[in-house]
């Protein structure tokens, strides 16, 4: 017997909604018990959600949706999307619990998000917090040994309820107070997805997002390599939002330690990079069709000539004697230089980041 309506007040839970199936199920389990649920979704800057599709023209016709919004609409709940890019930097730059296989600070990330959700919950007069976590589902943040760390370090304590595996965990306040019925909660564990899929079937959920290696670029080896390169080149672990967006776009080549070139791979990326010409020194081929390229770092004149030859290499004038390249400063001032495109064997593989 639950007491989700207490003294005329319907109990309210805020749910961490990633857009995946587990948080979707966790919300519905709470709704079944008469709890009012609203979702919260954090934008860290590293969210995979649609970014490369947004940039690359060839991907534009593929069906695209924001899964967190889609989930919220299916569940009939409000979704609050919060930009945490600034505060999230400390999580990425200096994770207390270290990184996973790549630069993914999953345990610190989970603690951070639960903490942020707790603050939102307090500010908006909600009663408790839920997540779609399942014991043993993820190697770093969703293990029986690490879940108490998240509970403790986030400050959530016993206000954090994990409906999908609650029966395997100590009782929380919402259970003790009778706001939710522990007997109707679940005891999922492990990486086997069969129980979740069966529950989705029971609830009539269709077309939900399939797990595809996480929702964060930091779990991606190639992306992490580019971020590590950025930190090494700068001599310190810092970044701005433009930096981490740029790591998702184009070819990255570092001919010298103090500068790199970002070269668009297709028309969509060219248009995207064009929008950043006020933030970076940029190059475009004038005499032949070619991609827009941005220069990150502090190149001198010799470096600029090398960069221009490299940019020419990626234009349709790669076989020409000379290619004219426009070099544009951030303030819009530009000059043209004529360069001989680099030959294929003059572009070492180690330049590619």
- Of 29, 72, 295, 311, which one interacts with another protein (CB under 8 A)? 72
293 C-beta neighbours (distance < 10 Å), count: 27
Nearer to another protein, 64 or 232 (CB): 64
Q: Taking Cα atoms as reference points, which of 23, 280, 295, 278 lies closest to residue 161?
A: 23
Residues in 272-311 that interact with another protein by CB under 8 A: 272, 275-276
Q: What is the CA radius of gyration of the chain?
A: 25
* Interacting span for another protein (CB under 8 A) from 43-51, 230-238, 312-320, 333-341: 43-51
Nearer to another protein, 226 or 254 (CB): 226
User: Binding mask 234-273 vs another protein (x if CB under 8 A, - otherwise)?
Assistant: -----------x-------------------------xx-
* Interacting span for another protein (CB under 8 A) from 80-88, 136-144, 166-174, 254-262: 80-88
- Of 54, 101, 198, 343, which one interacts with another protein (CB under 8 A)? 54
The angle at the Cα of 24, spanning 157 to 100, to the nearest 5 degrees, equals 60
Sign of the alpha-carbon torsion through 291, 292, 296, 300: positive
Nearer to another protein, 41 or 146 (CB): 41
* Interacting span for another protein (CB under 8 A) from 45-53, 153-161, 162-170, 222-230: 45-53
CA–CA separation, 118 and 112 (whole Å): 10
Rounded to a whole number of angstroms, the minimum distance from the CB of residue 31 to another protein is 15
Instruction: Give the contacts of 235 (CB within 8 A, at least 6 positions apart).
Output: none
Q: Is 318 helix (H, G, I), strand (E, B) or coil?
A: coil
User: Binding mask 140-179 vs another protein (x if CB under 8 A, - otherwise)?
Assistant: ----------------------------------------
Whether 157 and 170 have beta carbons less than 8 Å apart is answered as no
Sign of the alpha-carbon torsion through 336, 337, 342, 347: negative
Sign of the alpha-carbon torsion through 208, 213, 217, 218: positive
**83 is an interface residue for another protein by CB under 8 A:** yes
Nearer to another protein, 53 or 189 (CB): 53
Nearer to another protein, 36 or 110 (CB): 36
- Strand 12-16 to 128-130 pairing: parallel
- Strand 281-285 to 293-297 pairing: antiparallel
**340 is an interface residue for another protein by CB under 8 A:** no
* Interacting span for another protein (CB under 8 A) from 10-18, 40-48, 192-200, 311-319: 40-48
Q: Is 328 helix (H, G, I), strand (E, B) or coil?
A: strand
CA–CA separation, 14 and 120 (whole Å): 9
Footprint of another protein (CB under 8 A): 41, 43, 47, 49-51, 53-55, 60, 64-66, 68-70, 72-73, 77-83, 245, 271-272, 275-276
């Amino acid at each position: 017997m639950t007491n989700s309506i207490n003294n005329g007040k319907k109990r309210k839970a805020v749910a961490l909604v990633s857009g995946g199936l587990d948080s979707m199920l966790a919300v519905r389990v709470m709704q079944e018990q008469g709890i009012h649920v609203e979702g919260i979704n954090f934008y860290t800057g590293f969210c995979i959600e649609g970014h490369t599709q947004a940039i690359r023209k060839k991907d534009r016709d593929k069906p695209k949706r924001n899964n967190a919004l889609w989930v919220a609409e299916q569940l009939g709940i409000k979704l609050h999307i919060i930009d945490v890019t600034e505060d999230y930097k400390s999580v990425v730059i200096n994770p207390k619990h270290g990184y996973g296989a790549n630069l993914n600070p999953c345990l610190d990330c989970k603690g951070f998000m639960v903490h942020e959700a707790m603050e939102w919950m307090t500010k908006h007069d909600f009663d408790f917090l839920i997540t779609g976590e399942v014991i043993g589902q993820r190697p770093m943040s969703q293990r029986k040994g690490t879940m108490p760390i998240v509970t403790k370090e986030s400050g959530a304590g016993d206000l954090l309820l994990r409906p999908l595996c609650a029966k395997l965990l100590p009782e929380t306040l919402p259970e003790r107070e009778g706001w939710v019925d522990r007997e109707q909660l679940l005891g999922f564990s492990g990486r086997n997805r069969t129980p979740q899929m069966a529950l989705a079937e029971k609830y009539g959920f269709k077309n939900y997002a399939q797990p595809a290696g996480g929702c964060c670029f930091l779990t991606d080896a190639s992306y992490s390599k580019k971020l590590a390169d950025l930190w090494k080149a700068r001599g310190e672990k810092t970044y701005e939002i433009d930096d981490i967006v740029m790591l998702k776009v184009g070819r990255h080549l570092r001919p010298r330690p103090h500068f790199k070139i970002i070269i668009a791979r297709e028309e969509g990326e060219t248009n995207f990079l064009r929008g950043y010409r006020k933030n970076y020194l940029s190059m475009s081929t004038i005499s032949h069709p070619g991609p827009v390229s941005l220069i990150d770092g502090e190149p001198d004149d010799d470096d600029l000539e090398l960069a221009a030859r490299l940019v020419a290499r990626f234009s349709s004038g790669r076989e020409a004697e000379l290619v004219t390249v426009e070099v544009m400063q951030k303030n819009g001032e530009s000059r043209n230089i004529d360069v001989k495109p680099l030959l294929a064997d003059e572009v070492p593989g180690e330049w590619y980041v």
